[in-house]
Structures are given as C-alpha cells and as structure tokens.
C-alpha cells in the first residue's frame, strides 16, 4: 500500500541539499517519490509501507545529516 508522509527538516538550505536528500531517499527500497523543499523545509515522500516505514526514512535522513524535526 502506498503512503505519503511529510517530514519537517530544518537543515534544507539550498538546491544542493534538495538533490542530496532526493538521491539518498530515492535509493531506499520501497520509496516511490521524493520531493524535498528548501522553501518549506520539508520532504514529501511516497513509499510502499510494506517495504519501508516512515521511521526508516527519518533514520536515513538523520544518517546523512538532515535531522527530522519532531
């Protein structure tokens, strides 16, 4: 089943940050779409919840230096 989550991340400052986040999360099995935004400081991720969880996505962001808020 496909789910979409919005994860707040204050450290998204520029297009380079957006590209990095998109590359990292797109490589995760089960992730279908990634839309990071420096403007709104969040990442919208659509994923297959049978393959990956929102907690996994948050952990992956934190691994590469983009700590989720909240």
E runs forming strands in 1-70: 2-8, 31-37, 42-48
Q: How far apart are CA 16 and CA 51, in angstroms?
A: 27
pLDDT of residue 16: 96
* The pLDDT of residue 63: 95
Using alpha carbons only, give the angle 63, 26, 66 rounded to the nearest 5 degrees. Answer: 30
The pLDDT, as a whole number, for residue 15 is 96
- What is the pLDDT at residue 35? 98
Is the pLDDT confidence value at 70 over 90?
no
pLDDT in tens, 11-66: 999 999 999 999 999 999 999 999 999 999 999 999 999 999 999 999 999 999 99
Look up the CATH number of domain 2-63.
3.30.70.100
């Amino acid at each position: 089943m496909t789910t979409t989550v919005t994860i707040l991340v204050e450290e998204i400052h520029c297009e380079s940050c957006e590209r990095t986040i998109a590359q990292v999360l797109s490589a995760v099995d089960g992730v279908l779409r990634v839309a990071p935004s420096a403007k709104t400081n969040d990442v919208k991720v659509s994923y297959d919840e049978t393959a990956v969880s929102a907690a996994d996505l948050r952990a992956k962001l934190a691994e590469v230096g983009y700590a989720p808020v909240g």
